[in-house]
Homo-oligomer: A and B are copies of this chain.
């Protein structure tokens, strides 16, 4: 392989992503928006006749880095999950999360069915349609957290509920994702639900056992070598091993393994150090390449009027599903109507994880990559709307 051909696309992606993600954060957009757009811009090179920049070989290399990137993103997501907080989460947050997962997933599924064969389609198509729903489950709480912080409401009832719900939300989202992917199977034959449930359960038992060992081992190393290079290296090695083992031995998605590794190590005292070091690697090359690669590989030519209509309905399902699901559940849990709306809106924002899930679906041939621009629009829309409504709602109160 003339591997050096990958160096030019890598250089282009790194520079363009950084410029555009910086521009995105200037207008209060998540940085992923900039990275995706960088991919779309670089993807235009494909329209130059006889270009030798985005060749098959170089794109294979980019894809390889992207795949390591998503593993690191999910590892980091796991590391940053504050598992201790879960214990202190009350029943209301549980109910709100459950509704916030089920309602958007259901809506997404229904919308997908409307456009792809209806409820009477074959089992495989129904499973694919369910995947569209799965994409809508994961909340990205960072936009809401930033807004609530700005308003001084982060430690209010609404703030703590949103944060707590978003943590469990991620975990449930990852489990559902693994489950649906495992149902699909890798050999083209869909798996029996019983087998999948068993393997998923077995994976979590094995992950628990090995994770506890890894955690203990890391604590011994941490005591002897605090803040030493050993820690992030062993941490990332554990993540890679988990990702490999989950996919190879349990048929569970590799990103689930990486997320689980992060979760287990998140309780160690030095988890912040591991996360920061992994984060440097991620932002230097792996994360931008992952997101830009999504932007580069979107098949814009499969976007037709029907797809656009589907995409817009899908965005609506994503926004409405979270708001109504979470706000409704909040009302049930006796939150005031105003607070219920705030929780719903706070849970609406999406970012990285939605893209990670969607990309996984594209790789498994479950969903159409043409959905990506609409997920990008969902991210942009929710990043605009969430702060706007939250601010308005609290302003009214202040008046």
CB-CB contacts of A207-243 with B at 8 A, as 1s and 0s?
0000000000000000000000110111011101101
Asked whether B285 lies within 8 Å of A244 as measured between CB atoms, the reply is no
Q: Shortest beta-carbon distance, A4 to chain B, in Å?
A: 5
Copies, count: 2
Which residue of B241, B244, B280 is within 8 Å of A277 (Cβ)?
B280
Which residues of chain A in 312-336 are interfacial with respect to chain B, using CB atoms and an 8 Å cutoff?
Answer: none
A11 CB contacts on chain B under 8 angstroms:
237-238, 240-241, 244
Given the interface pairs A64-B64, A236-B14, the reply to whether A71 lies near B7 with Cβ below 8 Å is yes
**Shortest CB distance A185–B (Å):** 15
Asked if A233 and B18 make an inter-chain contact with CB atoms under 8 angstroms apart, the answer reads yes
Q: A61-B64, A284-B236 are in contact. Are A244 and B7 (CB under 8 A)?
A: yes
- Say yes or no for A10: interface residue by CB 8 A criterion: yes
Say yes or no: B285 contacts A243, CB within 8 Å. no
- A67 on interface, CB distance cutoff 8 Å: yes
Closest-CB distance, A36 to chain B (whole angstroms) = 17
Q: Which residues of B contact A247 (CB under 8 A)?
A: 4
A153 within 8 A of B: no
Contacts A11-B240, A244-B11, A280-B277 given; indicate if A64 touches B230 (C-beta within 8 A): no
Against B, the Cβ 8 Å flags (1 = close, 0 = not) of A267-300 are 0000000000110110111001000000000000
Contact yes or no, B285 A236, CB < 8 A? yes
Q: CB distance A233 to B15 under 8 Å?
A: yes
| Least Cβ–Cβ distance between A135 and chain B, in angstroms | 21
Q: How far is the CA of A284 from the CA of B282 in the complex (A)?
A: 11
Chain A at the B interface: SS class: helix
Q: Are A8 and B281 in contact (CB under 8 A)?
A: no
* Complex Cα gap A12–B240 (Å): 9
Instruction: Give the residue of B8, B18, B241 whose beta carbon is less than 8 angstroms from that of A234.
Output: B18
> Does A4 lie within 8 Å of B248, measured CB to CB?
yes
Note all chain B residues with C-beta closer than 8 A to A67: 3-4
Find out whether the CB atom of A4 lies under 8 angstroms from the CB atom of B244: yes
Determine if A1 is an interface residue (Cβ-Cβ < 8 Å).
yes
Which among A12, A63, A233 has the greatest number of chain B C-beta atoms within 10 A? A233
A254 within 8 Å of B (CB atoms): yes
B243, A18: Cβ atoms under 8 Å? no
Query: Which 10 A-B residue pairings sit nearest by Cβ, starting from the closest?
Result: A7-B244, A11-B240, A14-B237, A11-B241, A7-B240, A11-B237, A15-B237, A8-B244, A4-B247, A18-B233
Excluding A4-B247, A6-B64, 13 further A-B contacts by CB distance (< 8 Å) are A1-B60, A4-B243, A5-B244, A5-B248, A7-B244, A10-B237, A14-B236, A15-B233, A229-B283, A233-B283, A233-B284, A236-B285, A281-B281
Can you list 15 A-B pairs, Cβ within 8 angstroms, ordered by A?
Answer: A3-B63, A3-B64, A4-B67, A4-B243, A11-B240, A11-B244, A14-B237, A15-B234, A18-B230, A18-B233, A233-B284, A233-B288, A277-B284, A281-B281, A281-B284
